[in-house]
Structures are given as structure tokens and as C-alpha cells.
Amino acid sequence: MPSPYASRLARTLTPYVPGEQPAARRLIKLNTNENPYPPAPAVLEAIAAAAGDLRLYPDPGCAA
């Protein structure tokens, strides 16, 4: 049963199908949190710098 709050246009839209792969070849699908490009070098450096502290709980008083 359609929602009484949905507009006439919204009721005509095709529903989203999770996991469905697009048929077009030149699309980059970003809804699965995947990126076809590697991280920037600065991002890799920041990850490496933070990796040593990952075992620690965050500062509950936000004093850092």
C-alpha cells in the first residue's frame, strides 16, 4: 500500500535495490563506500601517525 504522504511523483519512482550493479559501464558506484582511487599520500601519512594510538580510548575530557 503506497504511503498517503508520498507525492504523486515519488510513487512513480523505481525503488532502490541494494547491491544492484549499474548496467552502464562508465559509472563509478559510490554507495558502497568504495573508492576506485588510492588515498592521497598525506592521508596515508596521517593514518600511519595515528596507528600507534589506536589501542587507546579517546580522552573523555577532551583535554588533548
Residue 1: its pLDDT value, please?
A: 63
Tell which residue, 3, 37, 36, 32, has the closest CA to residue 17: 32
Mean pLDDT of 6-16: 88
Residue 41: its pLDDT value, please?
A: 97
The per-residue pLDDT of the chain, averaged, comes to 83
Whether residue 15 is predicted with pLDDT greater than 80 in this model: the reply is: yes
Model confidence at 53, pLDDT cuts 50, 70, 90, reads: confident
Mean pLDDT of 38-54: 92
Cα atoms found within 13 Å of the Cα of residue 42, Cβ hemisphere only: 0
